[in-house]
Structure 1
Amino acid sequence: MTDLKNVKSVLFVCMGNICRSPSAEAIFRQKAKDKGLNLKIDSSGTISSHAKEKPDHRAQKAGMARGYSFDGIKARKTTAKDFEDFDLILAMDNQNIKDLRKIGPDHLFDKVQLFLDYAENHDESEVPDPYYGGAKGFQYVIDLVEDASDGLLNKL
């Protein structure tokens, strides 16, 4: 388990890095900035099929409606080097954790956690993938990510 007091960098991970993890990156970046924290914040996906793409337009619309910026965020695949470069790696769901185990070295796997472990106002353990749903799914992702971001920042 990562000592949160020493966390200087956070990586958010989902499957394609176009919905959930870029939303988490945008939201957490703004909330950390608002608290005056200087953290390295990024996102990635366990697959590379969307590499170099901007976040899904529906994710951007939902996030921007609440004041978050997606500027400069582009999809990329998670690499083994990410396990060295980041202090905390937060997966959106349990399948992401299984996939991360195939990517990163075992001795650094204690950095990996479920992001919603930090949520204080929701009981869900996983951020649902909104890709095949409607606008409400993207709004719900923002609700969950805001909650978990606040919970994590309260512990840093």
Structure 2
Amino acid sequence: MKILMVCLGNICRSPLAEGIMKTKVPENFFVDSAGTISMHEGKHPDKRSIKTAANHNIDISKQRSRPITTADFEIFDKIYCMDIDVMADVVSKTNNEEQRQKVSLFMEVLGDHKNAEVPDPYWGGMEEFENVFQLLEKGCSKIAEQILP
């Protein structure tokens, strides 16, 4: 199983989601993250994301930002988007219905969160990053529950 987490710049939400998801699935699963923009390409996650993850014993410090590519739609089985705008951008890059079916809004895995978004903590402080971590933790736990035997 190959899972891709996507946010805008791939420095806050999706790196956290990648790090959390990797703690929930076996090593033979491939989990990665990407952004819909390339502004931060090659950069490490935001220092606040790294610190928040470290506070929960997860190391995301070696991750590097990258933009989503057309190849990702062939490689990944499931693509989770952090908000509606990101999802619209991701869907616009798909070539067919099979690829579109791989894309979903991350928070919808929790069932009662239709159209709910993972807020972007970039303009906030550590409290916002912790709140995002907790949302991602719940969602990643649910995804693992759904995909693991």
Per the normalisation by structure 2, the TM-score is 0.92
**Which residue of the partner structure matches residue 17 of structure 1?**
10
**Which residue of the partner structure matches residue 84 of structure 2?**
94
CA–CA separation in structure 2 for the residues paired with 1:86 and 1:143: 25
Report which stretch shifted further, 14-23 or 109-118.
Answer: 109-118
2:24 is paired with a residue whose SS is helix
Q: Is the 8 A contact 2:105 2:115 kept in 1?
A: no
Instruction: Please point out which of 20, 24, 28 is paired with 1:38.
Output: 28
Instruction: Please point out which of 104, 113, 117 is paired with 1:113.
Output: 104
Instruction: Please point out which of 38, 48, 60 is paired with 2:38.
Output: 48
CA–CA separation in structure 1 for the residues paired with 2:45 and 2:117: 20
2:75 aligned partner, one-letter code: D
CA apart distance, 1:48: 0.1
Large movers: runs of 4+ above 2 Å: 119-124
CA–CA separation in structure 1 for the residues paired with 2:92 and 2:104: 15
CA RMSD of aligned residues (A): 1.7
List alignment gaps of at least 5 residues for structure 2. none
Give the paired residue count.
146
Per the normalisation by structure 1, the TM-score is 0.88
Instruction: Please point out which of 105, 124, 144 is paired with 2:135.
Output: 144
**Which residue of the partner structure matches residue 5 of structure 1?**
none
Q: Cα distance 1:135–1:128, how it changes in 2: closer, same or farther (>3 A)?
A: same
- Percent of pairs identical after alignment? 37
Query: Aligned pair 1:28/2:18, yes or no?
Result: no
